[in-house]
């Protein structure tokens, strides 16, 4: 059996084993699926199976650093964000900028030099750090197109699909040697 099939079977077994616990402790929390499309430019939006991931994670705070009414795990966050503080949202995009190098965002950092969030990754970095970190540890998919389907604009940028250059005489004859 191939490595990818074993990985998928392993993840399915883990989900089946942890699903009863997740259903008890997380029942009714969060959406079933979430479309992560705010950064969709060269790839289609990712349909994130939130319900499945709640069965794998130990707690909401494992992914959401500051959940509604819960104390943040990171002591640097706890300096300002106390237990019981309500947050306006728990989506990654609520705290991680989709344009971390925009003039507006950089001005906000400049105006508040004591802001702890200065080194916080942008939205794309936050998604990839969290997703790839867990997927690597748990044996989940880690290839770009495992989660992202490249769209027409992406094919044009990467010279693939209908934008791929035609084969040259040299590439046609490479297999004949």
Give the tens place of pLDDT for each residue, 116-138.
Answer: 666 778 888 888 888 888 899 98
Burial of 75 (0-12, 13-18, 19+ CB in 10 A): exposed
Averaged pLDDT score across all residues of the chain: 74
The answer to the question of residue 173 being in a domain is no
The answer to the question of residue 74 being in a domain is yes
Question: Tell me, what CATH number does 79's domain have?
Answer: 3.90.10.10
- Which of the four pLDDT bands, split at 50, 70 and 90, describes residue 83? low
Q: Work out how many domains the chain is built from and give that number.
A: 1
The answer to the question of residue 42 being in a domain is yes
Question: Which of 26-35, 50-59, 88-97, 98-107 is predicted with the least confidence, judged by mean pLDDT?
Answer: 26-35
Task: Please name every residue paired with 80 in a beta bridge, in sequence order, or none if there are none.
Answer: none
Residue-range definition of the domain harbouring residue 93: 3-23+31-161
Give the tens place of pLDDT for each residue, 1-56.
Answer: 454 444 433 443 333 333 333 333 333 567 889 898 887 888 899 898 988 888 88
Distance CA 43, CA 37 (A): 9
The token pair at 9 is: 């079977």
The token pair at 56 is: 């794998």
């Amino acid at each position: 059996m191939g490595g990818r099939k074993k990985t998928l079977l392993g993840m399915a077994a883990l989900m089946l084993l942890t699903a009863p616990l997740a259903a008890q402790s997380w029942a009714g929390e969060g959406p079933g699926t979430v479309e992560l499309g705010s950064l969709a430019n060269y790839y289609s939006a990712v349909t994130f199976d939130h319900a499945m991931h709640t069965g794998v994670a130990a707690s909401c705070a494992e992914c959401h650093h500051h959940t509604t009414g819960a104390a943040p795990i990171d002591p640097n966050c706890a300096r300002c964000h106390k237990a019981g503080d309500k947050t306006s949202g728990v989506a990654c995009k609520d705290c991680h900028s989709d344009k971390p190098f925009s003039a507006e965002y950089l001005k906000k950092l400049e105006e508040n030099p004591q802001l702890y969030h200065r080194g916080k990754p942008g939205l794309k970095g936050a998604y990839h750090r969290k997703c790839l970190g867990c997927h690597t540890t748990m044996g989940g998919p880690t290839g770009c197109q495992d989660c992202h389907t490249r769209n027409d604009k992406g094919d044009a940028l990467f010279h693939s699909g209908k934008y791929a250059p035609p084969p040259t005489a040299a590439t046609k004859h490479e297999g004949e040697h």
